[in-house]
């Protein structure tokens, strides 16, 4: 986890995103790379066609990129992170390019990152865009770390794996191995009614234990809550500071990924979520 990518855009959660990325990177001595993410042109056109057109003006784009860069670099400097150089292979920061990126561009560039940190999306005008999360999840081929609205004090000490036996979740667990190896406690959680055919939670726990990890298993057979809310309720009860969950779908239509448990977690999660597709 030496390469942490953070899209920088003006939204209400950007401080929490930056702090989440910083705390995560501290555990791995990572290089944190910022990249300017442009505004959603669809929203701009709906609000003001003239403003939308100005976004493509070179001067305006430069100003937006420079503002994003200042936000990123000011945060890193204030938190004691040094600019990356050949003499500084540990925790450091750098800036990617001089132009604004689109959501799809972030998804493409994320292929050379170890993880991409994004904000938990919402429907408000000041919330991070779901399209950004979708693009990285589907196009980068890399895991994402979804930052909650309030940055955590620690990440990855107590980890809950939401195990539904699916291929996507198995892939996510594989991506998360560097994080899991550092965890003090791991809980493999299953929720009845949200399981695919495949190995049990106990089988996954034994596999992880062979790597020297401390792993418990919790199987929820009955719950009055939806699967997603049950997962989050268990995370709170267990004192988890990270949820590992596969982003999955029951069809090839990518928008369907946000149904069921994933929708609840994207709406209500108050801890960071490590997710891959």
> Residue 251: pLDDT band by 50, 70, 90 thresholds?
very low
In CATH, which superfamily holds the domain spanning 3-147? HUPs (3.40.50.620)
For the segment(s) 158-276, the CATH number from 3.40.50.620, 3.40.47.10, 3.40.50.300, 3.90.226.10 is 3.40.50.620
The alpha-helical segments, DSSP class H, found in the chain are: 14-26, 41-47, 49-54, 58-78, 103-109, 130-135, 167-175, 177-182, 201-209, 227-238, 260-268
More confident residue, 48 or 266: 266
Task: Tell me the pTM.
Answer: 0.91
Dihedral over Cα of 137, 38, 125, 236: its sign: positive
% of residues, the chain, pLDDT over 90: 73
What are the residue ranges spanned by the domains of the chain?
Answer: 3-147, 158-276
| Distance in angstroms (rounded) separating the CA atoms of residues 131 and 268 | 18
Do residues 110 and 175 make contact, with C-beta atoms less than 8 angstroms apart?
no
Question: What is the rounded average pLDDT of the residues 141-147?
Answer: 98
Q: Which residues pair with 35 in a beta bridge?
A: 7
In this predicted model, what pLDDT tens digit does every residue of 108-122 receive, in sequence order? 999 999 999 999 998
Q: What is the pLDDT of residue 195?
A: 85
SS3 content of the chain, % helix, strand, coil (to 5): 45, 20, 35
Least confident of 61-75, 149-163, 250-264: 250-264
């Amino acid at each position: 986890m030496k390469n942490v990518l953070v899209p920088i855009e003006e939204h209400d959660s950007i401080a929490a995103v930056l702090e989440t990325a910083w705390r995560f990177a501290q555990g791995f001595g990572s290089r944190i790379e910022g990249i300017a993410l442009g505004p959603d042109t669809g929203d701009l056109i709906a609000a003001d066609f003239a403003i939308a057109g100005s976004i493509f003006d070179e001067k305006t784009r430069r100003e937006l990129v420079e503002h994003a860069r200042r936000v990123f670099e000011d945060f890193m400097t204030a938190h004691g992170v040094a600019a990356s150089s050949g003499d500084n292979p540990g925790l450091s920061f750098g800036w990617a390019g001089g132009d604004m990126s689109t959501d799809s561009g972030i998804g493409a560039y994320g292929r050379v990152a170890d993880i991409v940190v994004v904000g938990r999306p919402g429907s408000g005008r000041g919330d991070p865009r779901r399209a950004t999360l979708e693009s990285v999840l589907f196009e980068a081929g890399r895991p994402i770390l979804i930052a909650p609205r309030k940055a955590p004090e620690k990440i990855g000490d107590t980890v809950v794996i939401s195990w539904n036996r699916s291929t996507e979740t198995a892939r996510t667990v594989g991506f998360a191995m560097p994080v899991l190896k550092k965890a003090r406690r791991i809980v493999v959680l299953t929720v009845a009614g949200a399981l695919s055919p495949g190995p049990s939670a106990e089988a996954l726990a034994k596999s992880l234990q062979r790597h020297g990890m401390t792993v418990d298993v919790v199987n929820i057979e009955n719950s009055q809550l939806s699967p997603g809310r049950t997962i989050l309720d268990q995370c709170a009860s267990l004192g988890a500071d990270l949820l590992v969950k596969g982003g999955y779908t029951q069809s090839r239509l990518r928008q369907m990924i946000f149904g069921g448990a994933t929708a609840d977690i994207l709406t209500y999660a108050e801890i960071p979520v490590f997710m891959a597709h």
